[in-house]
Structure 1
Amino acid sequence: MTAKIVMIGGGSGLPVIIRPLIQHDVDLTAIVTVADDGGSSGLLRDYVNIIPPGDIRNILVAMSEGDQELLDLFQYRFKTNDAFLAKHAVGNLLIAALTEMTGDISEAIARLAHYLKIKGHVFPVAKQPLILHAKTKSGQFLEGEAAITAAHQSLDHVWVEPNDEGEEIVASPEAIAAILDADLIVFGPGSLFTSILPNVVVPGIKEALQETKAKQVYIANIMTQKGETDSYTDAEHLAVLNRHLGQNLIDYVLTNDQEVPADFVDYQKWGEISKQVVQDPEKIRQAGAKSISKDFLALRDAGAFHDGDKVADVLVSLTEE
């Protein structure tokens, strides 16, 4: 029987694993955050009152088996001297247009999934735009994903609130159903506080993650994130995730054991002062999880990334156990 894998996170980290994963015989679902308020996504969220489309766009492209020329058009971003359309991606505009035409973001995504010939399913964690909030370890309160990221502060916890005051947050029923029906649930890779946790803290999602019988996997980041996770070990990343989940739910932690060359990462290019995440398998074991420590490193573009093929192979093997 084809294994059902659900991946939870944002539109930058997940595609690295999704692209090779769809080459396997798996039933893949991506659940994507709706708290992005920066760039084209943020502008469309504010002016059209839809969920931010950027992460969904990137996931659709990662799952697509369609024509490359169409995908290039879908990903095309207008130049900064184009005034009104500056920095907007064509795919973001199409998602906004189809949402307005159909009156439902899920229907808009389904139509685009058909056009792009995607192999899998993509669901927003909620069908309404949400605002990410954070409390720093020093007691300061921050609002908005972009502001939280830019603050470079050590964070204690995050939560989401509706964009419209007084509105109740409702998790996507498709996302909840996918979680409850999954064989394997995968968190990340991606920013812990602004890509992964904004999904986990949505009411209904946390409860589904506590109820599901699926094995749950956290793909630990290779590098720390400036301010937010400075000096965090893989076990400390795990502890924050489990705390927001409300229980020690993670069964496996995938952690890279290959050293990142000291002079390879261009911190100026990436705007990030970071260090390699240190492994702490004993603390992971104490949290009820198993550490799977391997060479998951891919060095490219003056940065340290996950080798998607190697990670995908391990994920598939976990569904076979």
Structure 2
Amino acid sequence: MRAVALGGGQGLHATLSALRRITDDVTAVVTVADDGGSSGRLRRELGLLPPGDLRKALAALAGEDEASSLWREVFQHRFGGTGALAGHAVGNLVLAGLLEVLPDPVTALDEAARLLGVRGRVLPMCTEPLDIEADVVGLDEDTTAVRRIRGQVAVATTPGQVRRIRLYTAGMPDSVPTACPAAVRAVLDADVVLLGPGSWFTSVLPHLLVPELHEALIDTTAARIVVLNLVPQPGETAGFSPEQHLDVLCEHAPRLRVDAVIADADSVATPDRLRRAAESLGASMRLDGVASAKARERHDPLALAESLRDALAAVNAG
């Protein structure tokens, strides 16, 4: 089974950790708009794709043999101290070097994947870094006034309410981002495509704003499954109900149809509302216990894998 997961950060890591328990043919398609932390520093200093989310995806799919496990640990190791390297993850620096030495980002990521014994493939959503811009309300005395803010960190941490986002090639506000061709092909060739969980406006929805990727998600014959977050994210989705996540997805991609929506049973206060929101996208709703017992804000990979198996079986049977 060919599986493709779209997202970024910890949410994508959870999806990949679940998918690798179902199939060895997993492709991660990763957002490239991060402008904070180590990734933001490397992006600003070197003009490269922000490597952090790409590194996390590689680590999630790394092999389980001794050498691969060591490299996964090294890639995830973050330097301490107060010097120039403080805060940088080793994997971010390795990826930065590969991105500078090798001819294109896909080749660089394939080489990093070989180093980590990755089961599957990690691809960037676009081969150029992107900027996110959002329309936000609630930042002024007039709570209906719309203010435009720019940058992934600014959008993710805004105390206002995000209404809509736009995406463009970094430094080119009037541009239309171009999808990585290999990512488009992966979506079109997939048997199942997953959206979410993750930062909804800054890791999940951006995939729908790249025209070629958007069309591929509409045209693919794959089963399309949305995995909802367990809790609202402080900042960009504070106060959001599960069904509101689907509402904004529909607003950004009104032609997209979905086969199944997976949510944690304990995270849904009004199942009927979520069911109606899922049905508006053409999807069935699954309420399963997919949260980690140790950290309710994170998905349990084993439980999520089981839920995905059941969702796929239901889609294929239907």
TM-score, reference length from structure 1: 0.88
Q: Are 2:157 and 2:234, in contact at CA under 8 Å, matched by a contact in 1?
A: no
What's the CA shift string for 1:143-196, capped at 9, x where partnerless? Answer: 000111221221111111111437652210001001111111111111111110
Aligned residue among 173, 190, 206 for 1:198: 206
Matches within 5 A, 1:52-71: 52-65=50-63, 66=65, 67=67, 68-71=69-72
Distance 1:178 1:110 in 2: 14
Alpha carbons of 1:287 and 1:167: their partners in 2 closer, same or farther (altered >3 Å)?
closer
1:115 to partner: Cα distance: 0.9
1:14 corresponds to 2:6: no
Q: Which residue of 2 aligns with 1:28?
A: 26
Matches within 5 A, 1:128-139: 128-137=128-137, 138-139=145-146
Q: Are 1:223 and 1:277, in contact at CA under 8 Å, matched by a contact in 2?
A: no
Matches within 5 A, 1:31-46: 31-46=29-44
Distance 2:312 2:25 in 1: 11
1:255 to partner: Cα distance: 0.9
SS in 2 for 1:86: coil
Matches within 5 A, 1:148-163: 148-163=155-170
1:297 to partner: Cα distance: 1.7
- Equivalences, count: 301
Q: Are 1:127 and 1:172, in contact at CA under 8 Å, matched by a contact in 2?
A: yes
1:312 to partner: Cα distance: 1.3
Aligned residue among 274, 289, 297 for 1:304: 297
1:221 corresponds to 2:219: no
Structure 2 unaligned segments of length 5 or more: list them.
Answer: 138-144
Q: Which residue of 2 aligns with 1:266?
A: none
Mean alpha-carbon deviation: is it higher for 122-131 or for 135-144?
135-144
Mean alpha-carbon deviation: is it higher for 55-64 or for 228-237?
228-237
Q: Are 2:217 and 2:256, in contact at CA under 8 Å, matched by a contact in 1?
A: no
Mean alpha-carbon deviation: is it higher for 141-150 or for 158-167?
158-167
1:278 to partner: Cα distance: 4.9
Alpha carbons of 1:74 and 1:28: their partners in 2 closer, same or farther (altered >3 Å)?
same
Aligned residue among 135, 145, 148 for 1:141: 148
Distance 2:259 2:107 in 1: 34
Identity of aligned residues (%): 33
Q: Which residue of 1 aligns with 2:262?
A: 254
Q: Are 2:32 and 2:50, in contact at CA under 8 Å, matched by a contact in 1?
A: yes
Alpha carbons of 1:80 and 1:157: their partners in 2 closer, same or farther (altered >3 Å)?
farther
Q: Which residue of 1 aligns with 2:220?
A: 212
Aligned residue among 289, 295, 300 for 2:289: 295
Q: Which residue of 1 aligns with 2:142?
A: none
RMSD value, Cα: 1.8
What's the CA shift string for 1:258-314, capped at 9, x where partnerless? Answer: 26xxxxxxxxxxxxxxxx76542233224422110111121325x422121111122
Paired amino acid for 2:292: A
Q: Are 1:216 and 1:250, in contact at CA under 8 Å, matched by a contact in 2?
A: yes
TM-score, reference length from structure 2: 0.89
What's the CA shift string for 1:84-139, capped at 9, x where partnerless? Answer: 11111110111110111113111110011011100011110000000011111441
Q: Are 2:131 and 2:171, in contact at CA under 8 Å, matched by a contact in 1?
A: no
Q: Are 1:232 and 1:277, in contact at CA under 8 Å, matched by a contact in 2?
A: no
Stretches of 4+ aligned residues off by more than 6 angstroms: none
Distance 2:158 2:70 in 1: 38
